[in-house]
Amino acid sequence: MPFIAKTRQGGMRLSIQDYEQVDALGKDDIVCPFCDGTMFIRGGDRTAYRRHFAHRIECGADWLPEEYASGLETAEHLSGKEWLKMNFRHMIADEFVTGTTAEYEIIINVPAYAGVPAHKRITDVMVTFPNGRQIALECQLASITPETLEERTNDYQRAGIDVRWVLGKTADRDQNRRWCDEHFGVCYSFDFSYVSQSAPATRRIATPNDVRHFESEVASYSPV
């Protein structure tokens, strides 16, 4: 996943936002935390993408869920994850306590159930409270059904983790808003805009506006 990697020697976890530490490493010193394949830094200034890690070839971890297997993320999804980590207090405003942290891309072990073998999931952002409680913040932009939202939510709950979904793009549809409202009493949605970067002038980068809240207003939703 693009915002997290590790060192080849010692396996130390790296965040793309640890600029000095990451930039001091050699081109072959950064590897994928899931498959150990070599990664490099891509994006940043003068590009249309947020600075992130990328594989030289496709991720080789055979356990990755299908939605992660390509290792590719859109500029909007990268931007959405960054917003969630930087503004996680906004998502848990009523529950925040001093010492609560947020990290990108944490692996979750889902236990076997009802004939489904044990498997793993990867959070976009994981919020961890001092008492050990955790909430996964998920930026969902690709098309998805309420049934799949429920399946993934159940995975997190079986692992003892709460979840907050933030819908956007083709996932921000009336049926998914209704499902979130029915299950959580609130729906969160990203409204993306595009902000031109100064150099080069032709490049544009996706930026999510503040999260929109839809609380118990299912009847007022209009199909997208």
What pLDDT score does 112 carry?
A: 94
Strands (E), 56-182: 101-104, 107-110, 119-122, 125-128, 134-140, 162-167
* Neighbouring residues of 49: CB distance < 8 A, sequence distance ≥ 6: 42, 43, 75, 78, 205
Is 69 a domain residue?
no
Q: Quick one: the chain helix, strand, coil %, rounded to 5? A: 25, 30, 45
Kindly state whether residues 138 and 168 are assigned to the same domain. Answer: yes
Kindly state whether residues 124 and 47 are assigned to the same domain. Answer: no
Kindly state whether residues 106 and 191 are assigned to the same domain. Answer: yes
* Highest averaged pLDDT of the listed ranges 86-95, 173-182, 183-192: 173-182
Kindly state whether residues 4 and 30 are assigned to the same domain. Answer: yes
Kindly state whether residues 145 and 101 are assigned to the same domain. Answer: yes
- pLDDT at residue 126 tops 90: yes
Kindly state whether residues 142 and 88 are assigned to the same domain. Answer: yes
What pLDDT score does 145 carry?
A: 97
* Neighbouring residues of 173: CB distance < 8 A, sequence distance ≥ 6: 167, 223, 224
Tokens describing residue 40: 């490099």
Tokens describing residue 160: 């003892």
Is 128 a domain residue?
yes
Kindly state whether residues 36 and 95 are assigned to the same domain. Answer: no
Q: Residue 195's beta-bridge partner residues?
A: 205
C-alpha 25 chain-centroid distance? 25
Kindly state whether residues 166 and 212 are assigned to the same domain. Answer: yes
- pLDDT at residue 44 tops 60: yes
Kindly state whether residues 118 and 147 are assigned to the same domain. Answer: yes
Kindly state whether residues 20 and 95 are assigned to the same domain. Answer: no
The DSSP secondary structure of 33-68, one letter per residue, reads: TTT--BEEEE--TTSSS-SEEEESS----TTS-GGG
Residues spanned by the domain of 35: 1-63
Phi, psi values for residue 182, rounded to 5°: -65, -35
Kindly state whether residues 96 and 18 are assigned to the same domain. Answer: no
Tell me if 207 sits within 8 A of 192, measured CB to CB: yes
Is 68 a domain residue?
no
Q: Express each pLDDT in 26-37 by its tens digit.
A: 878 999 888 889
Kindly state whether residues 51 and 141 are assigned to the same domain. Answer: no
Averaged confidence pLDDT in the chain: 82
Q: Quick one: average pLDDT of 133-141?
A: 96
Phi, psi values for residue 61, rounded to 5°: -75, 115
Q: In which band, very low, low, confident or very high, does the pLDDT at 218 lie, cut at 50, 70 and 90? A: very low
Is 40 a domain residue?
yes
Global pTM value: 0.78
Number of structural domains found in the chain: 2
Last residue of a domain, one of 41, 63, 85: 63
